[in-house]
A and B are shown apart, each in its own frame.
Chain A
Amino acid sequence: MSDYNFAYLDEQTKRMIRRAILKGLAIPGYQVPFASREMPMPYGWGTGGVQVSAAVLTPDDTYKVIDQGADDTTNAVSIRRFFQKTAGVDVTEATSEASVIQTRHRIPEQDLRDDQILVYQVPIPEPLRFLEPSEVETRKMHSLEEYGLMHVKLYEDISQHGDIATAYAYPVKVEGRYVMDPSPIPKFDNPKLEMAGIQLFGAGREQRIYAIPPYTQVVSLDFDDYPFQPTKADHACDLCDATDSYLDELIVDDAGGRLFMCSDTDYCATRRKQGHIGAQGVPYGEDAA
């Protein structure tokens, strides 16, 4: 452990990132530029989230990483090991035990408490980007609260698909002011953005940090006659029988067989330990995995 400073980044860098985080918390939803560092992983693998995690971790923290809800994917495992190695913090797969959770594309099913921090990896922080290519213009639109364009995107959805087809990275308005991209979480998770925990968003390549303080109002944009609706697969989890969780759909053979399972692996495992068994499930501990 003498090879690295605690949590890999040097103290000056962490200070700089903490300043950006504090500013982000002070102006909910506002994208704060920061001097993103090169990290020992490629852009797109969560360099923004990792830098934010490095800045907020303390030696007493317990760290959890999820990727699409799962604790056991390559990305989650390597980031978790990274901080195990460079910060020596405890790691966990249990949502309730973690104090800092880094996530990509999901919010844990279990409600977070006010002593927990959720760190998002963000690929493109600017919600207006695909409609207005100019950064100068989008900044002006944010500062003057000109968000009509965001509804043009939703209008296009309805006119082409008959409904708001945006299923992830669904734009939200934070505390009645800034329109924000909640990172590519499914819109099923949007209502959970109003939570007790602190939410920090880090975009490494785009060099932006933004935040939602606890209990902040987060409203998903919609039309009066096409209200926002969180969606999920109309199914129960085949492993734990949960009907309230976001599901992944797996094709299991070439004869059309499929399996729906919770994308949040910790939530699913916890339920199975409690004895819930889904349509295709076996009691916990008896399967090969």
Chain B
Amino acid sequence: MTPLLQVENIAKFYGARIGCTDVAFDLYPGEVMGIVGESGSGKSTLLNCLAGHLTPDRGAVRFDTRTQGLRDTVTMSEPERRMLSRTDWAFVHQHARDGLRMNVSAGGNVGERLMAVNARHYGDIRAKAIDWLGRVEITEDRIDDRPTAFSGGMQQRLQIARNLVTAPRLVFMDEPTGGLDVSVQARLLDLLRGLVREMNLSAIIVTHDLAVVRLLADRLMVMKDGHVIETGLTDQVLDDPQHAYTQLLVSSVLQV
């Protein structure tokens, strides 16, 4: 089977400091990969390199495009890369405000990606927006409200709907549950898990919340100081951590 995403020795430096280095993995269709680590460990840098927001200094990120097979997204032209990020890729930001247009209605937010790929029928766009708002548990009567009138959890769900409406194959998530209270987090995770299974999505989730990866991720990568220090199946890594830092990380979680 061809991997959906093939990451080869990615490295990003900020001057002399290491952002992340020597990261390599394959992601297969339908697989969810978690990246955990403390603040400053390079996980967001890595995610931004993979999603094309940052240009890595070394290495290759090959994505299995629909028409041309595996293509290196680092060296492909910018229009192609931006096309990918509007169609096959989705990026869920930690703060919904970064991923939404706050002065455009919920329906417009969801419809934007459709219009970006040349949907030009208002009725169809609106029907799809209503369908997707329903899937993320936002009622139809909120479709013309702006995200500023939404709660934090709703904004995050709206952001997810906006990203998934074009049926992407790969979703990048940067702390999707950060800043939400635990009950809202739980529902959002439940929703995400349902969507990932239902749409057979592949996802890369960056988080420092081990509960998130426990629920969503098939595989786990632990980062520290820009290096990957441990990889493996999620349950394996969390239940039997080998590296001293992973042991510390796992034991730091408060048991209620």
Residues of B within 8 A of A131 (CB): 101, 104
- B121 is an interface residue with CB less than 8 A from chain A: yes
Q: Does B191 contact A (CB under 8 A)?
A: no
- Contact of B115 with A by CB under 8 A: yes
**Would A148 and B120 count as touching, CB distance under 8 A?**
no
Tell me if B112 and A148 are in contact (CB < 8 A).
yes
Residues of B within 8 A of A146 (CB): 82, 86, 116
How far is A149 from B111 in the complex, measured between Cα atoms in Å? Answer: 10
Are B121 and A152 neighbours in the complex by a CB distance under 8 Å?
no
Interface readout for B135-164 with A: 1 if CB under 8 Å, 0 if not?
000000001100000000000000000000
**With known contacts A144-B82, A148-B112, A159–B120 Cβ distance under 8 A:** no
Residue of A with least CB distance to B82: A144
Residue A226 at the chain B interface, CB threshold 8 Å: yes
Stretch at the interface among B46-54, B92-100, B122-130: B122-130
Min Cβ gap B9→A in Å is: 29
B123 in contact with A159 (CB, 8 Å)? no
With A146-B82, A146-B116, A152-B112 known as contacts, the answer to whether A159 contacts B121 (CB < 8 A) is: no
Q: Nearest chain-B residue to A223 (Cβ)?
A: B122
Cβ of B108 within 8 Å of any chain A Cβ, yes or no, is yes
Interface residues in B59-111 by Cβ distance below 8 A to A read 78-79, 82, 86, 101, 104-105, 107-108, 111
Q: How large is the interface on A (under 10, 10 to 19, 20 to 34, 35 or more residues)?
A: 10 to 19
State whether B122 touches A152 (Cβ < 8 A): no
Q: Does A27 contact B (CB under 8 A)?
A: no
B101 near A152 (CB under 8 angstroms)?
yes
CA distance A224 to B80 in the complex (A): 27
Q: Smallest distance from the beta carbon of B78 to chain A beta carbons, Å?
A: 7
List residues of chain A with CB within 8 A of the CB of B123: 225
Q: Is B117 an interface residue (CB 8 A)?
A: yes
B residues within 8 A CB of A226?
A: 122
Least Cβ–Cβ distance between B109 and chain A, in angstroms: 8
Chain B residue at minimum C-beta to C-beta distance from A151? B115
| Cβ-neighbour of B104 out of A156, A158, A223 (below 8 A) | A156
Contact with B along A133-168 (1 / 0, CB 8 A): 000000000001010110110011011100000000
Q: Which residues of A contact B143 (CB under 8 A)?
A: 159
Which of chain B's residues have a CB closer than 8 A to the CB of A151?
115, 120
Whether the pair B105, A159 counts as a contact (CB closer than 8 A) is: yes
Q: Which residues of B contact A155 (CB under 8 A)?
A: 107-108, 111, 115, 122, 125-126
A224 & B108 in contact (Cβ 8 Å cutoff):
no
Inter-chain contacts of A160 with B (CB < 8 A): 105, 144
Chain B residues whose CB sits within 8 angstroms of the CB of A158 once the complex forms:
122
B120 touches A224 (CB 8 A): yes
The 4 closest A-B pairs by CB, nearest first: A148-B116, A148-B115, A151-B115, A223-B122
Given contacts A156-B105, A159-B107, A159-B108, 9 further A-B contacts (CB under 8 A): A131-B101, A146-B86, A148-B116, A152-B101, A155-B107, A155-B126, A158-B122, A223-B122, A225-B121
* A residues in contact (CB < 8 Å) with B: 131, 144, 146, 148-149, 151-152, 155-156, 158-160, 223-226
12 residue pairs of the A-B complex, CB under 8 angstroms, read A131-B101, A148-B112, A148-B115, A148-B117, A152-B104, A155-B115, A158-B122, A159-B105, A159-B126, A160-B105, A160-B144, A224-B121
